[in-house]
Amino acid sequence: MAIKVRFAPSPTGPLHIGGARSALFNYLFAAGEEGTFILRIEDTDLDRSSRESEQEIMEALRWLGISWNEGIEAGGENGPYRQTERLNTYQEYTQKLMDNGKAYHCYCSEEELEQERQDLIQRGETPRYLGRCRQLTAEQRKAFEDEGRKPVVRFRVPDNQQIIIHDSVRDKVVFESDGIGDYIIVKSDGIPTYNYAVVIDDVLMGITHVIRGEEHLSNTPRQVLIYEALGMSVPGFAHISLILNTEGRKMSKRDGDTAVLDYAKKGYLPQAVVNFIALLGWSPAGEQEFFSMDELIKGFSLERVSKSPAVFDLHKLNHINSYYIKQTPDEELVELVLPFLKEKGMFPEESISEEEKTWIAGFIGAVKEKINNLSEVKDYIGYFWGTDLEEPEQEAITILQAETLPAVLELFQSKILTTVPLDAPAAKVILKEITKELSLKGKDVFMPIRIALTGQMHGPDLDKIIALQGKDNISGRLSKTYSFLGLE
Ligand code: GLU
């Protein structure tokens, strides 16, 4: 059987980590089985849905490298793929359900329903619809219509039935129909509810497996009843576990930092985010920690999706991201790092020159071992750019007060001025030569030069600092150091 799955976001906000994980698992499953992956937009919440969110969701999916072969923008023979453009289709099925008595019009007002709810709560029962409009006569219906009431359509939930869901993550899950109460499938404005539209679409689009978040598990019996009422076969289900934060609470959209594109803005690489979210609930067979998309496609299976909650651990994401940063050639990171440098006022022009590109690549090479995300490059600019230098701490000043300092710095400066090009290998040679020529230990040369150039006792590799600062900045920084020491 050809596999067909879908990701069906409601476009009521950006794509969050949880949604991205559902999309990814569907994508991986389809790709691994040579199946079809559909993107469908569930926009029946008219007040909260927007085209902007839809665009933003697609942008986030593309950023992650998740593509779909049918659906919004991709097209396909089961369209349209936006639920608000499928209202006629739902209407057809609603009519069928009404005709065979499986659904009915309900005229109850908000107030009447609220009263019923309160009464049930007071009696200690589960609030649910008790079926007041289940058996209305034609006269009763007419009377309500004459009052100007607009009906909703409710699904007639069969009494006393077990609803068994076969879920590949949770095995068999059993619900009782009695607790459910007839639920609304079409609102009074003619818009279908989620639990109804999702079934019609999944049926008509030939969905074979529904892979989605655990929060939808309680909706599933309502959906299964509709499949059964329509005489349609039920797809396979896989409800993936909640994602908890490290405090053990459910990650919510309100946790702030959960929109996928926020990670892009912070300088996380898409490969890292994909790798990270794949591990939120799926566990690979071996010890491997880092997976390319292709490896995920090969390795992914629903059998290895865990029942227990996944934990969103930012340290782990940072660990994975720093791995991918180190793996990526410096030149490929230039464009990604540029926005952060621009934030700091560097490279204000529209485009950058080849020389600037080379500088940025060198800068990335000098700091990439130290950062968890690309925005952190901002913390290192001061080591390499311009001549801003803070007065060193006392401990560092003491090092600069060594007797040998003037000789070291003088020799350093004269060598710098005559070295062309002044790149990192050349800087390394210069440092070695100074050690030799002045018969000093390495640290008596490296440390004072480092402090003189950066004001700090620690930091990125000194040869890279020298190459990236360049002659002019080095001269400027050395004069500042001399004046801190009262030598000028
Ligand atoms: N529109 C639903 C959501 O965004 C889709 C749920 C499903 O996959 O069935 O949560």
Q: Which two tokens stand for residue 22?
A: 């559902």
Phi-psi category of 171—alpha, beta or left, where left has phi over 0 and alpha has psi -120 to 50? left
Query: Alpha-carbon torsion 426, 427, 428, 432, what sign?
Result: positive
Element (H, E) at 153: strand 152-155
Ligand 1, atom nearest to 8 Cα: 5
Question: Which mutation among 10, 200, 243 tests ligand 1's pocket best, with the greatest number of atoms within 8 A of CB?
Answer: 10
pLDDT of residue 247: 87
Assess whether pLDDT exceeds 80 at residue 252: no
Helix (H, G, I), strand (E, B) or coil at 279: coil
Ligand 1, atom nearest to 202 Cα: 9
Q: Does residue 421 have a cis bond before it (omega within 30 degrees)?
A: yes
**Architecture of domain 333-384 in this structure:** Orthogonal Bundle (1.10)
- What is the value of pTM for the model shown? 0.94
CB 64 within 8 A of CB 32: no
Q: What is the mean pLDDT of residues 229-235?
A: 97
Task: Say how many Å lie between the CA of residue 5 and the centre of ligand 1.
Answer: 12
253 as an active site residue: the answer is yes
257 band by pLDDT with thresholds 50, 70 and 90: low
pLDDT, tens only, 170-202: 999 999 999 899 999 999 999 999 999 999 999
Assess whether pLDDT exceeds 80 at residue 488: no
CB 429 within 8 A of CB 462: no
Residues with Cβ within 8 Å of 85's Cβ and at least 6 positions away in sequence, in order, are none
pLDDT, tens only, 388-405: 999 999 999 999 999 999
**Architecture of domain 86-240 in this structure:** 3-Layer(aba) Sandwich (3.40)
Task: Say how many Å lie between the CA of residue 9 and the centre of ligand 1.
Answer: 5
The residue whose CA is least distant from atom 5 of ligand 1 is 8
- Is the CATH number of domain 386-485 1.10.10.350? yes
Ligand 1 residue neighbourhood (C-beta within 6 Å): 8-10, 42, 198, 212, 216
Give me the catalytic one of 253, 357, 370, 428. 253
Query: Alpha-carbon torsion 252, 253, 254, 258, what sign?
Result: positive
pLDDT, tens only, 46-102: 999 999 999 999 999 999 999 999 999 999 999 999 999 999 999 999 999 999 999
The Cβ-side half-sphere exposure at 191, using a 13 Å CA radius, reads 13
pLDDT, tens only, 444-479: 999 999 999 999 999 999 999 999 999 999 999 999
pLDDT of residue 255: 62
Q: How far is CA 230 from CA 91, 108, 233, 239, in A?
A: 14, 26, 9, 23
Assess whether pLDDT exceeds 60 at residue 256: no
User: How do the domains of the chain map onto residue ranges?
Assistant: 86-240, 333-384, 386-485
